[in-house]
Amino acid sequence: MIYLQLLWVFVKIGVLGFGGGYAMLSLIQHEVVDHYGWMTMTDFADMVAISQMTPGPISINLATYVGYTTAGLGGSLLASFALCLPSIIMVYLILKLFMSNKNNALMDNTLKGLKPAIAGLIFAAGLSMMNLQNFPDFGRGQYNISVIICVLAFVASYFFKANPILLIVISGIIGFIVY
Amino acid sequence: MKKPLQLFWSFFKIGAFTLGGGYAMLSMVEKAVVDQKKWIPTDEFWDMIAVVQSLPGVFAVNTALYVGHRVAGTKGAFAAMLGAIIPSITIILLLATVFREYRDQPVVERIFKGIRPCVVALILAPSLRMIKSAKVTWKTAIIPIATVFLIWWCKISPAYVILAAIAGSLVYALIINKKAKEKEVRS
């Protein structure tokens, strides 16, 4: 049963995951945390951090981890394979259908229209992670260090395009010192 | 060495050593496939990437599949794909066992307590950058706002939101294409 669920969930993510790794986070988060409860929101945040610091696609990393924690080695291989399955089918279908220029213009414009929605999707994934598990000192009358880290990391990333790995390492060091 | 094996090895190296997601990987793929092996001409490579970018799924996997397929058919596609994902899967499996063992250690917990809010920022920042690059105006701002509201507030599955967005975008693209054609006919 768990195998079937993993297969279904990750095939779905592979089919609907437009717009790169971050856009897939929202889909994965909804299925894995909200719907099936295979991971908590803190597990999810930790895995995103680990994925950022290790090579390879973030969605493959999450699929492997979720598969492993729910159904062992077999589960991890199945979840990763399920994620790739739609892509494998597409190589053969889309290569023939969409390589022509006529269809390309239509697809380009469709994707342009899709982009604002994908941005919203990613933003929602971030918002959903703003909870007391990830911000444990929020509103407890202490210095809100977690909020300060979040704001500073946001400024560094958005305005200065700081390296995400560097930001994660610095935040980890701050966490080690202050908590 | 046979082509599928070479593809496997090229993508294995890329999968094992590129940090920072799919797009960071592109220049390495170009170097391996276009410059060194000369399997695909430069312009054809970038045409291919343009198509691959518009597909759903894991970008690195799609790239590997298409390049592999173009160079050595079905065998090539699978060899390149496996090369691209095996490093990730191995690393995460190793880390998962270690992480489960040590995550309750106070030191590890303290470090991750600091990291989690940073991760939230790292997800929010690119979404806002994307809104900027998509040239969202006050009129079209309703799209990302509605998306956030439906997913975050109403807890509607992102799957449905994506399907609705695809349908809407397709209609929009059809209208634009029709207008472009009418212009062509007139001139």
How do residues A158-176 score in pLDDT, each as one tens digit?
A: 999 888 889 999 999 999 9
Distance, CA of B117 to CA of B111 (rounded, Å): 11
Above 80 in pLDDT, residue A90? Answer: yes
Closest among A129, A118, A123 to A47, alpha carbons compared? A129
* Sole residue written with tokens 């290569």: A95
B33–chain A Cβ distance below 8 A for any pair? no
Contacts of A103 in chain B (CB under 8 A): none
Among A residues 44-63, those touching chain B with beta carbons less than 8 Å apart: 45-46, 48-61
Q: Which long-range contacts (CB under 8 A, 24 or more apart) does A162-165 make?
A: A164/A52, A164/B20, A164/B122, A165/A52, A165/A53, A165/B19, A165/B20
Q: Are residues B92 and B35 part of one domain?
A: yes
Mean pLDDT of A84-111: 76
Binned at pLDDT 50, 70 and 90, residue B102 comes out as: confident
Helices (H), chain A: 2-16, 21-29, 41-53, 58-98, 101-128, 145-160, 164-178
Q: What is the mean pLDDT of residues A42-48?
A: 91
CA A47 to chain CA mean position, Å: 9
Q: Which of residues 119-148 of A touch B (CB under 8 A)?
A: 119-130, 133-136, 145-147
**Is B126 part of any domain?**
no
| Sign (positive or negative) of CA dihedral B85, B89, B95, B99 | positive
Domain stop point among B57, B78, B102: B102
Note the pLDDT of residue A51. 87
Q: Which of A4-13, A117-126, B50-59, B125-134 has the highest mean pLDDT?
A: A4-13
CB A56 within 8 A of CB B85: yes
Question: Which residue of A lies nearest to B177 if distances are taken between CA atoms?
Answer: A106
CA dist B74 and B80 (Å) reads 10
For residues A134 and A41, the answer to whether their CB atoms sit within 8 Å is yes
> Dihedral through CA A101, CA A18, CA B147, CA B130, nearest 10?
-80
**Crossing angle for the helix pair B59-102 and A41-53, to the nearest 10 degrees:** 120
Domain that holds residue B164: 136-187
Does B22 have pLDDT greater than 80? no
User: Is the confidence at residue A77, as pLDDT, over 90?
Assistant: yes
Q: Which of A25-39, A70-84, A131-145, B114-128 has the lowest mean pLDDT?
A: A131-145
User: How many residues in total does chain B contain?
Assistant: 187
Nearest to A172 among B21, B81, B115 (CB): B115
Mean pLDDT over each residue of chain B, to the nearest integer: 88
Give the position of tokens 């969930």. A9
Mean pLDDT of B83-105: 90
ipTM for the complex shown: 0.86
Taking only the tens place, the pLDDT of each residue in A99-153 is 555 567 777 788 888 888 889 988 999 999 898 888 888 776 666 889 999 999 9
Q: Which pLDDT band holds residue A84 (cuts at 50, 70, 90)? A: very high
Asked if residue B87 is part of any domain, the answer here is yes
Question: Angle, to 10 degrees, between the axis of helix A41-53 and the axis of helix A58-98?
Answer: 70
**What's the pLDDT score for residue A107?**
77
B181 touches chain A (CB under 8 A): no
How distant, in Å, are the alpha carbons of B4, B8, B11, B75, B92 from that of B78? 8, 8, 11, 5, 21
Last residue of a domain, one of B102, B126, B146: B102
- Residue A106 is encoded by which pair of tokens? 């239509």
Q: How big is the A-B interface in CB pairs under 8 Å?
A: 352
CA B1 to chain CA centroid, Å, is 30
Query: How large is the average pLDDT for residues B159-169?
Result: 91
Residue B88 counted as domain residue: yes
Q: Which of A22-26, A140-144, B32-36, B59-63 has the lowest mean pLDDT?
A: A140-144
Domain count, chain B: 2
Q: Which has the minimum average pLDDT: A99-103, B44-48, B109-113, B169-173?
A: A99-103
Given a cut of 90, is residue B26 above it in pLDDT? Answer: no
Does a structural domain hold residue B60?
A: yes
Query: Between B85 and B43, whose confidence is greater?
Result: B85
Q: Which of A1, A39, A34 is nearest to B99 (CA)?
A: A39
- In this predicted model, which residue has the larger pLDDT, A75 or B49? A75
DSSP letter assigned to residue B138 = T
| Contact at CB, B157 and A35, closer than 8 angstroms | yes
**Chain A: closest CA distance from residue B26 (Å):** 13
B39 belongs to a structural domain: yes
Q: How far is CA A123 from the centre of its chain?
A: 11
Q: Is the pLDDT of residue B117 over 80?
A: yes
Residue A73's closest CA among A133, A6, A21, A22? A6
* B92 against B133, higher pLDDT: B92
The amino acid occupying position B49 is I
Q: What gap in Å lies between CA A164 and CA B123, rounded to an integer?
A: 10
Q: At what angle do helices B3-17 and B59-102 cross, to 10 degrees?
A: 50
Which of A97, A157, A178 to substitute to test the interface with B, most B CBs within 10 Å?
A: A157
Is B155 an 8 Å CB contact of chain A?
Answer: yes
Q: Domain ranges for chain A, please list them.
A: 2-132, 135-179
Considering only CA atoms, give the Rg of chain A. Answer: 19
Pick among B58, B94, B143 to test the A interface (most A CBs inside 10 A):
B58
Interatomic CA distance for residues B32 and A1, integer angstroms: 42
Q: Residue B177's pLDDT band (boundaries 50, 70, 90)?
A: confident
Nearest Cβ partner for B65 among A53, A91, A123:
A91
Tell me, yes or no, whether B108 lies in a domain.
no
pLDDT exceeds 80 at position B106? yes
Tens digits of residue pLDDT in A1-43: 899 999 999 999 999 998 778 889 999 999 999 999 999 999 9
On whether the CB atoms of residues B117 and A150 are closer than 8 A, the answer is: yes
Query: For residue A100, what pLDDT is reported?
Result: 56
The residue type of A10 is F
Cα angle for residues A65, B76, A3 (degrees, 5° grid): 30
Smallest CA-to-CA distance from A169 within B21, B114, B92 is with B114
Q: What is the mean pLDDT of residues B106-112?
A: 91
